[in-house]
Chains A and B, each alone.
Chain A
């Protein structure tokens, strides 16, 4: 089977590239061994949190980008980033929509009781952004070991309560199991009433971000009606249920548009001829299949995703063997403090402004492979809080550029 485009990688950048190509009627194959960081860490859409406060991205981003000419955002500018974000937003119509809290970042409460600046916030988390000290009841669950209400509450000077679940007596309960429970009305009824009994004047109730995979807005609304207070979600340790919601929504939309999904096995090899990719090989033991397309978009992420790998001497890109920009000596990859900006964060694939891969001297390496997402060089997505923004914007524009639209 021959495709117009094969997207390699099923994280946020790959999904965004596939959507963009499918939207203009292209025949798309998306191959992923998993959903990468999306279902582990992504809750909200971080775009950039290192700009001066109180100023629109539109006003402050151009100068920031000018100071960092190699940053992926500098290949785009705010106007184009914004168009990509709008495309993402339009995939999530209300009730489960993504919102901004004003002209700049909002701050969401996290499972460590800290606040994190972020740009697009799912409606289930918005009520947590304007939380006042003392006004919030935080609820955790016995047996759910990835969230501790008293831990979160202690940092907010409010109350945190751990409820026992009939469903988890003497055993553990996972984030996905809890999410499925919340989708049941009878469960919401019981838990909601119990939370209401504990309420002591608080107007907001924070729960771990496990309010259903399928219909989180209904879960939220249902709980609010029973409790009589506003309910919000708090992101915590992986896996990320809000990330899974994003994946499921993309999948639903893409499948409707006839996109072919190949999930579970990675691309093991690419056939290169000169400056062209002629096909990719996926091995699903015991079968090995080859797939071909006119164009390819590489969205394989960083180390966790498998887009980058490191041995004792170097960082490399295992599928196309593209050169990886990185500090040469292993001693220089990381700095002395965990909280430093580590030079290895900047490691990645160099591209031209249209996201075609280039070498250190600017020579074009491949003419029909575009590169997008966190595998790109020259960003510090942890410190900048830019991971999802880079994924969405570069995934969108790599696909646009591939079809010259």
Chain B
């Protein structure tokens, strides 16, 4: 099939989808192509921390300023995707208070509001904290739902005319002298081939940026940094808990829905796709996080996962944490003489909108038109309409008391009706898409029961694509990557349960 568009965006992460929304609001037609579902890469593999910028204030003031400015904008345009938790930076005896002074000065410089709390005030707010703490600083951190935020951007972009080709992979770029004329792509589900012509191509492939550029015979330096995270079975804290020291391993605990997420590590990775959380990383995360909240030591964990930070590497090398978390926008016309190709990579989730704005500005500049950005002014479609995370949590409690039909996930209380509505509404293509769009398989049993039920519902509605037991086995393998590193204590029982069902009863 032949397609023609003004701007082709490659990559369905926060940046790519953000660009699609930005361009669509400016009235510029675009097609977004993504080989998986939206948020398949780092955009879906992070701790969902709405940075105040505090974490970068000392080491990377520019990234800190970007964070606080975007933090304020997101609270306005996407209140339903955000839980306004605030965050605390905790000073522990072993770290001392020296860094706190530096931290406070740097926050002031970056425009991040701070409040100093005494030990008792901090423990009053967060009773689970290590009671040896010296002092704490409150900053406007928050927690956001990465999937909901990216889907909201996608909905708005589609509403304004952007076209999305998900589960579609670029197989080559057609380069003619100094122009990239388009790409050849393949629909991975139906096998259809697309030839897409575009006036401009944007490489928003994140960690895959260098790989994608190889299609055009170009290279850029990327430092791929794996960050691992660990999910507890319970929510241990109400505010984001950070350690007040230079960024290091295991110094953040983010409350998220009903759980807490411990993060992160930073390990140089050569792989963009095949990476796992190692046992030493788990040990390190538990050890460090339990210094902030001692209950972490005895917590039950439900999953470990990792994402790849797409850090752009300038010439000088060093510690990955020292590489700027700011983003980079490359005009390949200036850099390589390929006039209509742009790469945008690096950056933070929280700055996705700013990255999209700057990229779209560059597109407009190249087109020679003067259309301004409005993504910071226009709320996303669900704002004021869709339930916020907090409201949703309250509603869940009430829901089960009423007759809401089958609850197919008992851990996260997902009604069958919710899955059926997704299948009726948006274009959901495969089983993974449903898992991305609901809380299914995200609770204590990690899909041990509900994934069989989900396949059952799909059979009831006659929408199963392929052999359901092959899908089931694939899911169990994917689940395994997340649970294998944390199998001790109660998790070992859970594992025996899942094996007893799928290897035992069902003989898969």
Contact = CB atoms under 8 A, between A and B. Distances in A.
A337 B276 CA distance: 12
Interface string A140-163: 000101111011001100001010
Contact of A112 (B449, B457, B477, B508): B508
Interface string B455-482: 1110110101000110011001101100
Contacts of A160: 459
30 contacts: A41-B500, A41-B504, A110-B507, A112-B468, A113-B468, A114-B506, A116-B505, A117-B507, A145-B406, A145-B408, A146-B453, A148-B457, A151-B455, A155-B469, A171-B403, A172-B405, A172-B406, A172-B407, A236-B505, A237-B501, A303-B495, A304-B500, A310-B492, A330-B488, A333-B487, A336-B484, A338-B480, A339-B503, A382-B504, A387-B504
Interface of A (DSSP majority class): loop
A248 interface: no
A170 B477 contact: no
A295 to B, nearest CB: 29
The secondary-structure label for the interface of chain B is helix
Given A111-B506, A116-B507, A310 B469 contact: no
A154 B416 CA distance: 21
Interface string B391-414: 000000000000111111000000
A41 B279 contact: no
B500 A151 contact: no
A148 to B, nearest CB: 3
Nearest to B448: A237
Interface in A318-363: 330-331, 333-334, 336-339, 344
Contact of A382 (B406, B489, B499): B499
Contacts of B455: 148, 151
B273 to A, nearest CB: 16
A311 B297 CA distance: 11
Contacts of A334: 484, 487, 495
Interface residues of A, number: 50
A185 B416 CA distance: 31
A202 interface: no
Identify the 9 closest CB pairs spanning chains A and B, nearest first. A148-B456, A116-B507, A338-B480, A112-B506, A151-B459, A382-B503, A150-B459, A170-B403, A303-B493
Given A115-B507, A339-B508, 16 more contacts: A41-B505, A112-B506, A112-B508, A114-B507, A148-B459, A150-B456, A150-B462, A154-B468, A170-B404, A238-B500, A303-B495, A334-B487, A334-B495, A336-B484, A382-B503, A385-B507
A124 interface: no
B46 to A, nearest CB: 25
A143 B496 CA distance: 27
A338 B477 contact: yes
Nearest to A238: B501
A89 B493 CA distance: 30
Given A334-B484, A338-B480, A110 B505 contact: yes
B174 interface: no
Contact of A312 (B456, B480, B488, B493): B488
Contacts of A338: 476-477, 479-480
A378 interface: no
A253 B81 CA distance: 59
A39 to B, nearest CB: 12
The residue in A116, A145, A154, A337 that gathers the most chain B C-beta atoms within 10 A of its C-beta is A145
A165 interface: no
